[in-house]
């Protein structure tokens, strides 16, 4: 069907520009879903030290102190704590999350321990949801990406990248339950992919959590981007990105 076939006729004597809004609406209706603009939420956590704010809520059931802003990053800054934050996101299409997470000290002060979770379908309680845990016991253990479902490890893949001080991550959650992405640092990267699965949680929130070791180095999350919508959730060039939120 052509656009002209469904555009309204312009009454005699009326400027043809009067039909432009109708033509635009018709053109948008004929666009494939993938061409519709995404929504991109950005949080750089560049706020004063203290509560997280900016629309985030602390997960129920946190162990020890809640996450907070420290030195411009989301931080688990109290020894022995495990805590998270969450916010509602549109999960009608794919969701892509990217950012940077950093190490903490493990047992005996050993470096390069990671326990950072990024979950969709959360109901707002700690560990609820479905998604990825970036994990390394400490410098003496291999790095891996774990697939989490309501606090349980349901699959895992070894990472060819051994996590050091910082890890950049990109994770895409498909509507079919598939999860894929990559972890990278210092010019090296490792990809991961988990097959579609049913029975995933249907909570309305995206959540993330951190475990804090014994210090003095505490884990962080920074430079977070969440892309949602029917455009496939691919970061990089959204049609109408939201400005950074903090």
Residues 168-189 have a mean pLDDT of 97
How far is the C-alpha of 171 from the C-alpha of 184, rounded, in Å?
Answer: 12
The tokens for 101 are 């997470």
pLDDT at 70: 98
Asked if pLDDT for residue 207 goes beyond 70, the answer is: yes
Residues 64-74 have a mean pLDDT of 98
Asked if pLDDT for residue 232 goes beyond 80, the answer is: no
pLDDT at 198: 84
Return the beta strands (E) in 174-219 as ranges: 179-185, 188-194, 205-211
Question: How many secondary structure helices (H) and strands (E) does the chain include?
Answer: 2, 15
Asked if pLDDT for residue 240 goes beyond 80, the answer is: no
Query: Contact 38/229 with Cβ under 8 angstroms?
Result: yes
What phi and psi values does residue 3 have, to the nearest 5 degrees? -65, -40
How far is the C-alpha of 129 from the C-alpha of 206, rounded, in Å?
Answer: 8
Asked if pLDDT for residue 161 goes beyond 70, the answer is: yes
Q: What is the pTM of this model?
A: 0.81
How far is the C-alpha of 55 from the C-alpha of 42, rounded, in Å?
Answer: 12
The tokens for 191 are 């990809």
- CA distance readout (Å), 5 to 9, 14, 25: 10, 19, 14
| 37-76 CB burial, b ≥16 within 10 A, e <16 | ebbbbbbbbebeeeebeeebebbeebeebbbbbeeebbbb
Q: How high does pLDDT run on average in the chain?
A: 85
Closest CA to 73 of 210, 172, 187, 206: 210
**Percent over 70 (pLDDT), the chain:** 78
Positive or negative torsion for Cα 121, 242, 32, 234: negative
Closest CA to 212 of 105, 70, 60: 105
SS3 at position 23: helix
Where does the pLDDT of residue 245 fall: very low under 50, low under 70, confident under 90, or very high at 90 and above?
A: low
| 152-156 contacts, C-beta under 8 A, 24 or more apart | 154/197, 155/194
pLDDT at 12: 45
Helix (H) or strand (E) holding 20: helix 20-30
Where does the pLDDT of residue 28 fall: very low under 50, low under 70, confident under 90, or very high at 90 and above?
A: very low
Q: Which residues pair with 170 in a beta bridge?
A: 98, 182
pLDDT at 21: 47
How far is the C-alpha of 136 from the C-alpha of 70, rounded, in Å?
Answer: 23
């Amino acid at each position: 069907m052509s656009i002209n076939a469904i555009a309204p006729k312009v009454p005699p004597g009326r400027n043809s520009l009067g039909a432009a809004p109708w033509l635009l609406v018709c053109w948008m209706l004929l666009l494939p879903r993938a061409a519709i603009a995404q929504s991109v939420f950005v949080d750089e956590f560049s706020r004063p030290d203290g509560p997280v704010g900016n629309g985030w809520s602390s997960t129920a059931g946190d162990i020890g102190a809640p996450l907070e802003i420290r030195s411009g990053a989301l931080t688990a800054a109290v020894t022995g704590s495990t805590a998270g934050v969450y916010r509602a996101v549109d999960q009608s299409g794919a969701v892509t999350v990217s950012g940077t997470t950093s190490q903490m000290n493990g047992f005996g002060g050993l470096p390069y321990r990671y326990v950072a979770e990024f979950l969709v379908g959360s109901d707002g309680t700690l560990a609820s949801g479905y998604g990825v845990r970036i994990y390394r016991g400490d410098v003496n253990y291999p790095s891996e990406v774990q697939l989490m479902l309501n606090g349980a490890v349901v699959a895992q893949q070894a990472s060819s990248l051994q996590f050091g001080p910082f890890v950049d991550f990109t994770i895409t959650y498909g509507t079919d339950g598939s999860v894929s992405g990559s972890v990278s640092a210092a010019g090296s990267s490792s990809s991961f992919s988990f097959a579609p699965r049913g029975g995933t949680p249907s909570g309305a929130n995206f959540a993330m959590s951190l475990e804090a070791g014994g210090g003095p180095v505490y884990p962080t999350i920074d430079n977070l981007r969440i892309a949602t919508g029917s455009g496939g959730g691919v970061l990089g060039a959204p049609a109408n990105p939201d400005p950074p939120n903090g």
